[in-house]
């Protein structure tokens, strides 16, 4: 490694060390490498059962307000475990069930609570689907929501904040097999 280069340390990234001739080239390489880390949602197929992820943001959701000069880094999923269709309810003619749940995520990126929205999945089997969603979502982790606040002297304070996300879960039976789709908008 060239003596002009140093490891780059970025929250959520273990360590990025770049060997180069000039520090400017190190920064350019790091910016290009980090540009590939997009905060946009990517559908992630899961073979058992087929699951995709997309988030829902209700209009009435509370949001952080950034002060002048303050920036935030959107959290991204680290680990998502697919909910399992309740085996006791698996029938070829089972009607599709859709439910929405709010995930409350702590400063460390771990899900602290899962709260189903009351007006979804109104059938008698709702508790079984809620339990499947809770058991899976409590295992989910995200990168922290980082808030960067200027100190006025050219330095910044980096603070992790808790946040909430809403997901839509679709449970259905296709060709006799359970399929769960998780939608994050």
| Residue 153, pLDDT score | 92
Going by pLDDT thresholds of 50, 70 and 90, the confidence category of residue 122 is low
Going by pLDDT thresholds of 50, 70 and 90, the confidence category of residue 24 is very low
| Residue 49, pLDDT score | 43
Q: Is 100 helix (H, G, I), strand (E, B) or coil?
A: strand
Structure tokens at 169: 């879960």
Q: Residue 92: which of 180, 173, 181 has the closest Cα?
A: 173
Q: Which residues contact 100 (CB under 8 A, 6 or more apart)?
A: 56, 116, 117, 120, 166, 167, 168, 169
Q: State the average pLDDT for the chain.
A: 74
Average pLDDT over residues 78-97: 89
Going by pLDDT thresholds of 50, 70 and 90, the confidence category of residue 123 is confident
Average pLDDT over residues 127-132: 92
Whether 129 shows a pLDDT value over 60: the answer reads: yes
Does the model's pTM come out above 0.85? no
| Residue 119, pLDDT score | 64
Hey, where are the domains in the chain? 1-37, 39-184
Note the CATH architecture for domain 39-184.
2-Layer Sandwich (3.30)
């Amino acid at each position: 490694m060239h003596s002009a280069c140093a490891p780059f340390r970025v929250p959520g990234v273990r360590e990025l060390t770049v060997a180069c001739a000039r520090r400017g080239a190190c920064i350019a390489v790091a910016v290009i490498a980090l540009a590939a880390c997009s905060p946009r949602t990517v559908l992630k197929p899961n073979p058992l059962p087929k699951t995709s992820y997309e988030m829902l943001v209700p209009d009435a959701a509370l949001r952080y307000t950034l002060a002048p000069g303050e920036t935030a880094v959107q959290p991204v999923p680290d680990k998502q475990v697919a909910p399992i269709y309740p085996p006791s309810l698996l029938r070829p003619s089972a009607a599709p069930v859709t439910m929405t749940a709010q995930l409350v995520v702590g400063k460390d990126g771990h899900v602290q609570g899962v709260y189903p929205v009351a007006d979804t999945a109104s059938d008698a089997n709702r508790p079984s689907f809620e339990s499947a969603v809770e058991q899976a979502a409590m295992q989910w982790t995200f990168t922290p929501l980082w808030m960067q606040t200027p100190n006025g002297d050219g330095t910044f304070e980096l603070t992790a904040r808790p946040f909430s996300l809403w997901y839509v879960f679709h449970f259905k039976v296709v060709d006799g097999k359970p399929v769960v789709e998780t939608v994050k908008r």
